[in-house]
Amino acid sequence: MPTYEYECTSCGYTFEKFQKISDKPAKTCPKCKGKVKRLISGSSSFILKGSGWYATDYVKHNNPQPETHHKTATPAADKTTSSGK
């Protein structure tokens, strides 16, 4: 949901309101109850760049468990246990 910025035409108070795109815009100032106008905000902080961001960042894996690698015995360890000493 976007954050909209409003300014009161009576007292000049500016405020932000977090609301759905389908919600009606705010009409009154929370401080003086005067009329407000919606301001055009600058840039957004949410930017999608590059190709394949979805495929690389939010891909579902069929196997959620990572593979575990088992250590193999070293040849020196095998010689000591197989000689029977």
Residue 27 lies in a domain: yes
Report pLDDT for 22. Answer: 92
pLDDT (tens digit, 9 = 90+) per residue, 3-43? 899 999 999 999 999 889 899 999 999 999 999 999 987 65
Whether residue 60 lies inside any domain: the answer is no
Q: Name the residue range of residue 37's domain.
A: 3-42
Residues 62-85: pLDDT tens digits? 655 555 655 665 555 555 555 555
- Count other Cβ atoms within 10 Å, centred on residue 41: 11
- pLDDT of the residue at 5: 93
CA dihedral 27, 33, 34, 36 (to 10 degrees): -30
Instruction: Compute the average pLDDT of residues 34-56.
Output: 72
Number of domains observed in the structure of the chain:
1
Q: Is residue 13 part of a domain?
A: yes
What pLDDT, on a 0 to 100 scale, did the predictor assign at position 30? 95
38 belongs to a structural domain: yes
